[in-house]
Amino acid sequence: MNAPASRPRIGFIGIGIMGEAMVRRLLDLGFPVTAWNLEPERLATVVPHGAVAAASPAAVAAASDIVMLCVLHTEAVERCVFATDGVAAAGRGPSLLIDFSTADPERTRQAAAKLKELTGTGWVDAPVSGGPQLARTGGMTVMAGGAEADFAQAKPILDQMAGNVTLMGPVGAGQTTKILNQAIVGTGYVVMAEALMLAEAAGIDAARLPQCLAGGHADSSLLQRLYPQMQKRAFEPPSSYARQLLKDLKAVSAFAQDLGLDLRVIEQGVQRYKDYVALGHEMSDSAAVVKLYEHDAATRGTTRS
């Protein structure tokens, strides 16, 4: 028997840092949730709170009215939807798929059209920003793309999961907006790291910078939330992974180049994260990129000596 319309059965695929937070939020709100993850041990973070484990994405789809995805990249989205045990294999089950992953806009459009043809399921691409804490409390930001009717079906649930939900256009528009978001975030992380290194080297009270600059043109959530984390070197447990932000920055670079643009600040941000990950920090917190600057300073000191 289906759950009441106000509480449709939710299937959730991808129980990473963000997926776990979103599933916990849905469970708190009273939604029945069936979950699957490529590494099944991650299900232990949500099953004790009421989620039901499924053996495959197809099994998730068969048990759900709406399927949600939050996986690593475009290839993972396509695998979860179109593999032999994927969502599409369940046939005409869920009426809607909401993809919270960060993925390629054009391939998202292609996947949405293919799923619609195979099963009749609608698609809303809904990449997110804000991190796991805001996902857990319902304060994250959602940038959405999809048909008006599909978005209308998704919005009552998204409004309970996020503090800011905006339809940016048809399918793929959410992913395009996420590219712009990641351009700002990725280069912003590098700017925050460099501002911190400047403040510490200059000998001022670096911890007071967010308070001092609050309300001015330099103020931002990056300054108020990210900079203090960098200043305290509070990187455990990670709230995001450097490999993920590097992947996103590479996507920003490719997108800009496809449009014939030469965006040099973004290219420098890409290179900084390449350098950071190359030092073995793939699974470190994205904010710990400040360690790259400490490494650079130590290397220069060794070279001079």
Q: Beta strands of the chain (E only): which ranges?
A: 10-13, 33-36, 52-53, 66-69, 96-99, 122-125, 128-129, 140-144, 162-167
* 8-state DSSP, 205: -
- Catalytic-labelled residue, pool 116, 178, 247, 274: 178
CA distance 178 to 73: 13
Q: What is the dihedral of CA 64, 52, 165, 265, to 10 degrees?
A: -120
116 is catalytic: no
**C-beta of residue 130 within 8 angstroms of C-beta of residue 140:** yes
> Residue 237, preceding bond cis, omega within 30 degrees?
yes
Residues with Cβ within 8 Å of 62's Cβ and at least 6 positions away in sequence, in order, are: 90, 93
Closest listed residue to residue 11, CA positions, set 97, 72, 112, 91:
97
Q: How is residue 145 written in tokens? A: 């793309």
Residue 279 in 3-state DSSP?
A: coil
- Tokens at residue 191, please? 């700017």
Residues belonging to the chain: 305
Query: Of the candidates 250, 277, 281, 282, which has an alpha carbon nearest to the alpha carbon of residue 266?
Result: 250
Gap between the Cα atoms of 142 and 130, Å rounded? 9
Identify the CA nearest to 124 among candidates 169, 83, 85. 169
On whether the CB atoms of residues 135 and 161 are closer than 8 A, the answer is: yes
Active site residues: 178
